[in-house]
Amino acid sequence: MFDGVMTAMVTPFKNGEVDYESLRRFVEFQIENAVDALLVLGTTGEAPTISDGERERIIGTVLEVNDGKLPIIVGAGTNSTEKSLKLIKSAEKQGVDGVLVVTPYYNKPTQDGLYQHFKYLSERTSLKIIVYNVPGRTGVNILPETVLRIAQDLRNVVGIKEASGNIAQIDKLMIELRKTREDFKVWSGNDDQAFHVMNSGGNGVISVLSNIAPKQVADMCRYALDGNVIEARKIHQRFFKLMKALFVETNPIPVKSALSLMGLVRNELRLPLTPAKETTTKLLETLMRECGLI
């Protein structure tokens, strides 16, 4: 898999349709700025509002532009185990490197239900699977004990994107994993916690910030993973306010606004998401200027 930063990519739109030209340029921008992997059609990519046909073409476009340079991971989780498997098998057929599978949302499975969900999927694909824990969106928190059970039993489940925001829970998970399965990776799912997670033994970050600051986030990760805490901290502190500002409204609303300020994609989302408030855009512009991004 990868250590470092994986950009949770936006999906560009133009007049309500997927903007494939901008998507191509955006993938090139990410590759040129030395990120370690790309996540396509996750939360930031507005996956719930993408049709099956668009999904296949988006993945194909990213794979074509990437041309084997970086690992390509595709969001493939729903709150139906069978529907999730369908997305996984489709992505597998297209030749991606792995899938990010969010814990089922709305129907709120038990911890055993979560385990059985990932067991069912892992037994039916050769792809590498990353668990995605984001209880603020799903209404369910996959506990360290359940993750450990998954890590021990399901060898093609290779890591977790931990976006619970609970540092104590993440630390507990990493401590226990090192006793049982050292190759099981833990990536921060929150930019503002990535520095801490890496310095506590984590493997990097699946990042929203790297949409607009890919080189800087990649540098922070490399410093942190190499043990250069001082240089990593400098970048973390420099971008901390911007990390927080990217979530003053629902992600990916602010990051789409920020990217439009850079001229990379249009400030366009699909309903029910709407463009950022003027106050949010002004805040982002101020912080991006302070960080030297515009």
pLDDT band at 144 (very low <50, low <70, confident <90, very high): very high
Please determine, for residue 82, whether its predicted confidence score (pLDDT) is greater than 90: yes
Please state, in angstroms and rounded to a whole number, the distance separating the CA atoms of residues 20 and 13: 8
Q: Please indicate, yes or no, if residue 231 is contained in any of the structural domains.
A: no
Per annotation, catalytic residue among 161, 185, 223, 256: 161
pLDDT of residue 1: 79
Please determine, for residue 196, whether its predicted confidence score (pLDDT) is greater than 90: yes
Q: Please indicate, yes or no, if residue 271 is contained in any of the structural domains.
A: no
Q: Please indicate, yes or no, if residue 197 is contained in any of the structural domains.
A: yes
What's the mean per-residue pLDDT of the chain? 98
Query: Tens digits of per-residue pLDDT, 95-119?
Result: 999 999 999 999 999 999 999 999 9
pLDDT band at 135 (very low <50, low <70, confident <90, very high): very high
pLDDT of residue 274: 98
Q: Please indicate, yes or no, if residue 185 is contained in any of the structural domains.
A: yes
pLDDT band at 272 (very low <50, low <70, confident <90, very high): very high
Per annotation, catalytic residue among 132, 185, 223, 256: 132
CB atoms closer than 10 angstroms to residue 201: 15
Identify the CA nearest to 72 among candidates 80, 62, 82. 62
Instruction: Work out how many domains the chain is built from and give that number.
Output: 1
Please state, in angstroms and rounded to a whole number, the distance separating the CA atoms of residues 73 and 63: 10
Query: Tens digits of per-residue pLDDT, 148-188?
Result: 999 999 999 999 999 999 999 999 999 999 999 999 999 99
Task: Calculate what percentage of the chain has a pLDDT beyond 70.
Answer: 100
120 is catalytic: no
Q: Please indicate, yes or no, if residue 256 is contained in any of the structural domains.
A: no
Averaged pLDDT for residues 43-65: 98
Q: What is the CATH number of the domain that holds 139?
A: 3.20.20.70
Q: Please indicate, yes or no, if residue 274 is contained in any of the structural domains.
A: no
Q: Please indicate, yes or no, if residue 251 is contained in any of the structural domains.
A: no
106 is catalytic: no
Please determine, for residue 195, whether its predicted confidence score (pLDDT) is greater than 90: yes
Strand ranges inside the chain, DSSP E: 4-8, 13-14, 17-18, 37-40, 72-75, 98-102, 128-133, 157-162, 185-188, 204-207
57: containing domain: 4-226
Q: Please indicate, yes or no, if residue 263 is contained in any of the structural domains.
A: no
pLDDT of residue 4: 98
Query: Tens digits of per-residue pLDDT, 4-47?
Result: 999 999 999 999 999 999 999 999 999 999 999 999 999 999 99
